[in-house]
Chain A
Amino acid sequence: MPAVTETIETVQAVTDSGYKWGFETDIEMEFAPKGLNEDIVRFISAKKNEPAWLLEWRLRAFALWKTMAEPRWAAVKYPPIDYQDAYYYAAPTQKVKPKSLDEVDPELLKTYAKLGIPLREQEILAGVEGAGDTPAEGRMPIAVDAVFDSVSVATSYKDRLAKDGIIFCAISEAVQEHPELVRKYLGTVVPQGDNFFAALNSAVFTDGSFVYIPKGVRCPMELSTYFRINAKSTGQFERTLIIADEGSHVSYLEGCTAPMRDENQLHAAVVELVAMDDATIKYSTVQNWYPGDAEGKGGIYNFVTKRGACRGARSKISWTQVETGSAITWKYPSCILQGEDSVGEFYSVAITNNYQQADTGTKMFHIGPRTKSTIVSKGISAGHGQNTYRGLVRIGAKATGARNFTQCDSLLIGDLCGAHTVPYIENRCATAKVEHEATTSRIAEDQLFYCRQRGLTQEDAVGLIVNGFCREVLKELPMEFAVEAQKLLQISLEGSVG
């Protein structure tokens, strides 16, 4: 059974709010001074021992950021963010490689245990010498990259993957080891000046994952990154870059949690995907950042730019996201369908409970002929939650025979929440076909009655119905994540019914 799932079951009762990842790890950390200026950008770059071109790239991003204004068009409300009142670099200070788990900072180990990462992976992640890359017994191997605040702390199964020529490592490591690849692709999908948060990320990104799948290789295991914001007053700015060369295939999972705090913390990540001819990238996210308490205090501001470029013919990029956490989610994973016959997919479940706000959706840019896209979005609002689907389907003049199908369904639980749908459809090609459907409703009384009659509690009945509502999306998730996501949906809706 996947570790994450076990944790959910066992730790469920620990915290009263239902958020089980709210602990804070008291670990020795190194911080850069608070605030944001050119020196901090230089500090981060120096800390990472980066080449000059990357520092210049960062500085250009910072210069652009200073000229930009925070986007205000999303249907989310939050007080102004003081960008000078945060740490832009925080890292665990451990220096020497430990010999066994006993020497590893026990707090770090506790964190892994609480997050549900089993011992064997813990050793690998903690960097114990000789731990090797053998998976724990009876489990399908999943290669994990763990990012703790600003830095990638460990990556497992690197050697096994290297046999196939696959590069899976922290992006800071990739800058050292494979600078030509990073330089070739970094910022080509999400340029530095793309938007306010992407510019901020480009200036101060500290770590993230880098994946390169060579020509014709089918990645033998799921790749996964685990993101954790731990330290107080930090922002997390990770940057992920995945390149799937001709004919390759990769499935990538992303998970995230953060401690419970009264203050809001900023998470501004950038993810760039590049798929060449006949390549497939499947990117799955279970986003479970701390959502704030029942009164809407605290929680993560999740302002993320994710975009994939289907550069090659017949390439495919598929985004699947389950968004249950964060006080505010601002996120539009997109596909640029350049290659002919390329395919973009977006499957999303977004839940807002208590005072959570989500403004999320996708953009599908059809450029090449016969490009296809599918969008399935399920929004669930409960408590005072506000949930917005915002999406764009743009068909260019040359995208002959392009095809899009969009379905956005919203479910309302309680009369204080809101569900909104804002799709934009722009078509310049007569032979393209675009279809869009959206519905909004609440859980039907007869469905609830049916379940209650068969002995289910009100909460279980709602959980069952919600899972059914989201089924089309959940079935797109890799198995390990699907189980976790189902539980998360139920936990996220706790206290919203009855």
Chain B
Amino acid sequence: MTAATQTGAAGFLARYEGLKDHLPGARKPWLNALRADAAAQFAARGFPTRRVEQWKYTDLAPLAQAGFAEPLTMVDGTIALPPALAAHRAVFVDGRFRADLSALDGLACRATGLAQQLADAEPHLGALARPDSEPLAALNTMLFEDGLFLDVPAGVDGGLLELVSVAVDPGRPFAFHPRHLLRLGAGARLTLIETAIGGGACLHNPVFEVDVAEGATLTHGRMLQEAATVFHLSTIYARIAAEGTYDNFTVAAGPRLTRNEIHAALTGPRAACHMNGAQMAAEGQHVDTTTSLDHAAPDCASRQTYKTVLAGRSRGVFQGKILVRREAQKTDGYQMNQALLLSEDAEIDSKPQLEIYADDVKCSHGATVGALDPDSLFYLRARGIPEAQAKAMLVEAFLHEAVETVTDDTLRGALTRALDAWWARQGAAA
């Protein structure tokens, strides 16, 4: 592989040139055109630098300077999977769907690998994540091989489904770009619990296109728990029609660099979007949550609560934008981001943003940054609780607030365990 010696954007473009006739759907002209368009966009824009406003606080230079290769062969041998949370799960290894590891029999909706469903995906692929939207979406479009194709028919309750993504370390830097298409018909429901694990020097660059039709509800829980060598850059594009709901809960705790970027558009009256999450970073890690909410229809509501906890020499970023268009009267938008700094070497950068063109709206945002409250610590210590335990209680209380609103017990349990596991690791490290 000579291409692997090339780094950054040029390396990815070179591999696209080398692989384009072998990528899934290489014989479909529409997909070839889409990939070519994305390649042209990515060639023109490259990896975003800190001069780009949306990347002001997150530096991709370590990524842009490294050389990654796409995994060319299927991983053999046993794959360690996390314990099952639900009866149904779709498993992806290095971004490729593995029917042999998945359990999808009896699921009330269609869930399978995208590579096998390209014909059905044609009208939807690239509709929300256009090649010209974000450079990382372009990179994904150019090189994606597989992903979850989920289609919940109108009126169907799909129940609980797990999406497990495993990165298996081949001993050299590698990258994969799964493309997930999630579609819910009118009045459909589904709870998706996503777990990302694995290790190695890897770039995991998933793109989600989420389409929630009239009155449908998608609850999307995410646990990004890859090893501290992984770059996780995920971008979600969601479109929510009238009276539909998209709930996203993300726990980011693990990768060297996590970017959790969500673009949600409320396109019909009385649609709702909730985006909540907790992101944690310790020594040498960087976590970034960037959201953009587009209120494009009247009477919609959006709620966001994000928590950041930083230990060691780490950095946290929160950027959240709420756009209220002229026609989006009676919008109710709320956003809160709070950060807790546990170390003197941590840095938090926060940019909440409101852009409002309609007058009959109620929009607010809040941001707080600080250390653990000494008064609260003192209160607990005065009651005989040892310092470490008192700290743990306060950090837990702080983090758990982000997942309090999750109504599904299984999902809330899983998210809470992910939060607690991170804190336990900090205790072990200290």
Contact = CB atoms under 8 A, between A and B. Distances in A.
B371 A418 contact: no
Contacts of A467: none
Nearest to A388: B355
A268 to B, nearest CB: 24
Interface in A376-417: 397, 410, 412-417
A437 B367 CA distance: 7
Interface stretch (A3-11, A56-64, A425-433): A425-433
Contacts of A418: 355-357
B346 A425 contact: no
Contact of B329 (A415, A422, A439): A415
Contacts of B341: 427, 429-430
B360 A440 contact: no
Nearest to B350: A425
Given A428-B347, A432-B370, A438-B365, A414 B359 contact: yes
Contact of A419 (B344, B354, B366, B371): B354
Nearest to A412: B359
A439 B361 CA distance: 10
Given A412-B356, A415-B329, A425-B349, A441 B362 contact: yes
B351 A424 contact: yes
Contacts of B356: 410, 412, 418-420, 440
A442 B371 contact: no
A273 to B, nearest CB: 27
B323 to A, nearest CB: 9
A16 interface: no
B359 A413 contact: yes
A435 B367 contact: yes
Contact of B366 (A412, A438, A440): A438
Contacts of B326: 415-416
Interface in B192-246: none
What's the dominant secondary structure at chain B's contact region? Answer: strand
B368 A435 contact: yes
A420 B355 CA distance: 4
A415 B343 contact: no
Contacts of B365: 421, 436-438
B342 interface: yes
A417 B357 CA distance: 6
A410 B365 CA distance: 12
Given A425-B367, A433-B370, A442 B350 contact: no
B369 interface: yes
A212 B351 CA distance: 38
Given A414-B359, A427-B341, A437 B349 contact: no
B357 A425 contact: no
Given A421-B354, A424-B351, A438-B364, A433 B369 contact: yes
Contacts of B329: 415
A219 to B, nearest CB: 37
A432 B369 contact: yes
A477 B329 CA distance: 35
A421 B366 CA distance: 11
A438 B352 contact: yes
Nearest to B326: A415
B308 to A, nearest CB: 11
A417 B359 contact: yes
Given A415-B329, A422-B351, A424-B351, A434 B359 contact: no
A396 to B, nearest CB: 10
A423 interface: yes
B358 interface: yes
A419 B324 CA distance: 10
Interface in B355-405: 355-371
A439 B363 contact: yes
Contact of B347 (A417, A423, A426): A426
B287 to A, nearest CB: 15
Contacts of A73: 53
B359 A442 contact: yes
Contacts of A412: 356, 358-359, 361
A259 to B, nearest CB: 32
B364 to A, nearest CB: 4
Given A420-B356, A425-B369, A440 B361 contact: yes
A227 B68 CA distance: 61
A415 B359 contact: yes
Given A433-B369, A436-B352, A442 B361 contact: yes
Interface string B315-351: 0000000000010010000000001011110111111
A435 B363 CA distance: 17
B353 interface: yes
Interface of A: 73, 397, 410, 412-442
Given A420-B355, A420-B356, A434-B367, 9 more contacts: A415-B358, A417-B357, A419-B356, A426-B350, A433-B369, A437-B364, A437-B366, A439-B363, A440-B364
18 contacts: A73-B53, A412-B361, A415-B358, A418-B356, A420-B354, A420-B355, A421-B353, A422-B351, A422-B353, A423-B353, A425-B351, A429-B341, A434-B368, A434-B370, A435-B367, A435-B368, A436-B365, A442-B359
What 10 A-B pairs have minimum CB-CB distances, sorted nearest first? A412-B359, A430-B341, A436-B367, A425-B350, A434-B369, A421-B354, A433-B370, A439-B364, A440-B363, A442-B359
